[in-house]
Amino acid sequence: MSSDHEALMGMLTRLKLTAIRDQLARLRPPESSSSPRMAAGRE
């Protein structure tokens, strides 16, 4: 039971993250995704 629950939670979190990414992509122009700020934050 616990393993199934964890799998479901993992899928839900993935769906939420993808949905948030889609919304951000719609709000921001594609160029901002490759801006120096994002690159610096990843390092």
Q: Which residue's entry shows tokens 């949905």?
A: 19
Per-residue confidence at 2, pLDDT binned at 50, 70, 90? confident
Q: According to the 3-state scheme, what is the secondary structure of 1-43?
A: CHHHHHHHHHHHHHHHHHHHHHHHHHHCCHHHHHCHHHHHHHC
Q: What is the mean pLDDT of the chain?
A: 80
Over residues 9-25, mean pLDDT:
96
Token pair, residue 34, equals 């490759």
Over residues 30-39, mean pLDDT:
58
Rg of the chain in Å (alpha carbons): 15
Q: In this model, does residue 35 exceed pLDDT 90?
A: no
Give pLDDT, residue 33: 55
Number of Cβ within 10 Å of residue 41's Cβ equals: 8
Give pLDDT, residue 28: 78
